[in-house]
A and B are shown apart, each in its own frame.
Chain A
Amino acid sequence: MSNEKPLNCGKCYGASLPYVDLNDLKGKLIVLEGTDGVGRSTQMENISKWLEVKGYGVMTTGWARSPLMGSEIKKAKAGHNLNVYTFSMLYLADFADRLEHQIIPALKSGFIVLADRYIYTAFVRALVRGAGREWTRKAFSFALVPDAVFYLRIKIKDLVPRVINAAHLNEHYWEKGGEGLDYWESGMDLKLGEDFYDSFIEYQKRMLAEFDVMAKEYGFTSIDASKSFEEVNAELKIQLEKILAQPGEK
């Protein structure tokens, strides 16, 4: 077996996709990570507008939202018969599709790419489901290393009241036709507790613990997400200014 040399080493976590040209990535890849209900999406929306007002080209990309896989993932999750590998690989296909069709082309055109979740979400979800760190990291090894990862860090006691609020529960129960808490966000497939609440707590605890491990491993910029929207937002903007001040296309 011939081992091909990793192309464009340094931009990816492992070997890049050999047929994809990674030269001339002029833009910046900014990632927002954090568990479910931590407020990533509202921050993303705000930051995106803020950057556009400043004159930057912005492209947002969201986990499990590729044209190829988005609806497929929803369908598959409705079936509840996924194992850790099929679960992870559906997200891997979604990620690869967005990387090749959205992220890399946008970076080449000098856009700021804002990613709502990134490969670290896949890492923690696979880990708590028993895949082990190594397999998932290798599977996603062609991912680009972001210019910054902002981790919206929250403790379980601050997360619970956000997720369990009337509007959210009612929406799930009445409009989505399901239980008040999301089946997968509660890790119900893992049988961690008697009901959605117990399971949610245990599942999110495990994920938060692993996010902390990864924050060190990958050098995330942690932001205290138990603070108000405005405080978190201001902190994000300070951090972003630093990234934007770095050399590159402006």
Chain B
Amino acid sequence: MPREFEAPHKYPGKLIIVEGIDGSGKSTQLQLLQKWLGSLNYRVFFTEWNSSALVNELIKRGKKKNLLTPATFSILHATDFADRFAQLIMPPLKAGMIILADRYIYTAFARDAVRGVGRDWIRDLYGFAIKPDLALYFKVPIEVSLKRILTGRPTLKFHEAGMDLGLSEDPKESFRIFQTRILDEYASLTTEYGLTTIDASQSILKQQAAVRELAKNMLKDYKQSAFLSKEENVYVK
């Protein structure tokens, strides 16, 4: 099977995804985009990383008890993705709707490479995933993301700090090393897959203006009709 995400998809819907390290503000931006698209009367679907009913509990348990190796960590996240992809992404996409995804395959490409699985292997594993119509990468310096996370809650999570990699005893230091490596991966992914970079150290308002402009541009030829009322919105294989 070719890697589906290497060429544009052929479905009538649109897929918008956001990427970035923890604390980059991407979820806030996606929520604001969702509000805006809703106000324009688009039917919008939303899905986020690591939230499938199938393996969600297992991943939580595996992380908590530290049962996962880089390979099983990676495979279980791919399973989560495959489940959501089939159930939450493809049906609305085929029905001509807009789907917003908080994190997509690039999260796995970045994180799993840092955890030590092969780059080619992880791309093949996600080979069935389609290419997004708009992929936004929220680029932020480590210190800014660290400050944002620690404003919201007192401590860093074990895995977001990459503590499983044994980089440092100090969670903050581990976070810096781990997330710096992820930033490096994102930098090369941006070139490899043409992700659009947003400067996430700007104000929320400024970023959202840029996001909406990009979305508007991507959607310029897109018309969402009332479901099944227009022939062109019905996907026929």
Would you call B86 an interface residue if the criterion is a C-beta within 8 Å of the partner chain's C-beta atoms?
Answer: yes
Contact call B124/A97, Cβ cutoff below 8 A: no
**A-side contacts of B67, CB under 8 Å:** 67-68
Closest to A101 in B: B69
- Give the interface SS of chain A, mostly helix, strand, loop or mixed: loop
**B124–A100 touching, CB < 8 Å:** no
Q: Which residues of B contact A68 (CB under 8 A)?
A: 58, 62, 67-68, 72
Shortest distance in angstroms between B112's beta carbon and chain A's nearest beta carbon?
11
A135 and B124 in contact, given A72-B58, A89-B78 (Cβ under 8 angstroms): yes
Q: Is the CB of B75 within 8 A of A92?
A: yes
C-alpha gap A6/B121 in the complex (Å): 11
Taking the closest CB of chain B, its distance from the CB of A114, in whole angstroms, is: 22
Q: Is the CB of A15 within 8 A of B120?
A: yes
The answer on a CB contact under 8 Å between B70 and A19 is yes
Q: How many residues of chain A are within 8 Å of chain B by beta carbon? A: 37
**B89 CB, min distance to chain A CBs, angstroms:** 12
In the complex, are the beta carbons of A4 and B79 less than 8 A apart?
A: no
B65 (CB) vs chain A CBs: closest residue = A68
Determine if B75 and A134 form an interchain contact, defined as CB atoms under 8 angstroms apart: no
- A86: contacting residue among B54, B68, B119, CB under 8 A: B54
Contact B188 A18 (CB under 8 A): no
Is A132 on the interface with B (CB-CB < 8 A)?
yes
| Contact across chains for A4 and B124 when beta carbons are under 8 A apart | no
Residues of B within 8 A of A69 (CB): 58
Separation in Å of the B81 CB from the closest CB of chain A?
Answer: 9
A2 within 8 A of B: yes
Instruction: Assess whether B69 is in contact with A100, with CB atoms less than 8 Å apart.
Output: yes
If the complex has contacts A1-B192, A17-B71, are A138 and B54 also in contact, measured as CB distance less than 8 A? no
Closest beta carbon of chain B to A21's beta carbon, Å: 12
Nearest B-chain residue to A99, judged by Cβ? B71
Interface membership of A85, Cβ < 8 A: yes
Contact A135 B118 (CB under 8 A): no
B71–A139 contact, CB under 8 A? no
B interface residues, Cβ below 8 angstroms from A: 1, 54-55, 58, 62, 67-72, 75-76, 78-79, 82-83, 85-87, 116-121, 124-125, 127-128, 188, 192
Given contacts A83-B82, A89-B76, A100-B69, 13 further A-B contacts (CB under 8 A): A4-B119, A14-B121, A17-B70, A19-B70, A79-B54, A85-B82, A86-B54, A86-B83, A89-B79, A135-B127, A138-B124, A139-B125, A142-B121
Q: List the interface of chain A (C-beta within 8 A of B).
A: 1-4, 6, 14-15, 17-19, 67-69, 72, 76, 79, 81-83, 85-86, 89-90, 92-93, 96-97, 100-101, 131-132, 134-135, 138-139, 141-142
